[in-house]
Amino acid sequence: MKIPQQELSSDALVGVIDAFILREGTDYGLQEYTLEEKRQRVLNSLARGDAEIHFYPENEHIDIVMVR
């Protein structure tokens, strides 16, 4: 189930973004980015529609999914 980011509180959105960023295997290439820079990149991807927030009710899991 797709969840618009506007439906999440600021704290919840940051939590979902941080979980996505800190998940093992997330690769940003050779460039080093601060946590805040990584958050902004994910927010930009959500705003452009390149990423979506999905909720999976069967296991009550929320995640960010790259769609483009």
Q: How far is 28 from 33, CA to CA, in rounded Å?
A: 8
- Give the domains, in start order, of the chain with CATH numbers: 2-66 (1.10.10.610)
- 51-62 pLDDT, tens digit each: 999 999 999 999
Reply yes or no on whether the pLDDT at 1 is more than 60: yes
Assess whether pLDDT exceeds 60 at residue 33.
Answer: yes
Q: What is the pTM of this model?
A: 0.84
| Nearby residues of 50 by Cβ (< 8 Å), 6 or more positions away | 66, 67, 68
| Cα–Cα distance for residue pair 14/20, rounded to 1 Å | 10
Residue 31 has a pLDDT of 78
pLDDT mean across residues, the chain? 91
The pLDDT-based confidence of 30 (bands split at 50, 70, 90) is confident
